[in-house]
Amino acid sequence: MYELTGTIKRLFDTQTFPSGFTKREFVVTTEDRYPQDIKLSTVKDRIGILDGVREGDRVTVGFYLRGNEYKERFYVDLDAHVIRAAAVPEAEDGPPPDEPPPGFLEEGGDIPF
């Protein structure tokens, strides 16, 4: 299972298909240096994990990657299984996690191994 933490940007209505299959999609904006809007979905009885969640809430989502082929086209779905409120991060000193520390690549900087 993978996890991502971010803010709920959009909650879509539940979709019910003629077969009785139900699905609900939502979008989470990540907290990376370059934030991404990631669409995830819940299906069947797991739609209830979105009960009480509102747009603007900071959450951590546990999900599985799902892929399939249909008529020679390939599809990927992020199938959410767990969603929980995420703690607000405390301000930290130093560079963001996706940037090397100052001097890292400069002459005399630390070597990562």
Long-range pairs, 42-48, Cβ under 8 A, ≥24? 42/79, 42/80, 43/79, 46/80, 46/81, 47/14, 47/22, 47/23
Q: What is the mean pLDDT of the segment spanning 43-61?
A: 93
The whole-number pLDDT of residue 86 equals: 82
Return d(Cα 39, Cα 41) in angstroms, integer.
Answer: 7
The whole-number pLDDT of residue 106 equals: 53
Q: For the segment 69-109, what is each residue's pLDDT rounded down to a tens digit?
A: 999 999 999 999 999 988 766 665 555 556 655 555 555 55
Tell me what the pLDDT averaged over the chain comes to: 85
The whole-number pLDDT of residue 80 equals: 95
Q: What is the mean pLDDT of the segment spanning 63-74?
A: 94
CA angle 19, 20, 26 (to 5 degrees): 115
CA distance from start to end of the chain:
29
DSSP code of 90?
P
What number does CATH give the domain 2-85? 2.40.50.140
Q: For the segment 24-34, what is each residue's pLDDT rounded down to a tens digit?
A: 999 999 999 99
Contacts of 55 (CB under 8 A, 6+ apart): 8, 9, 10, 11
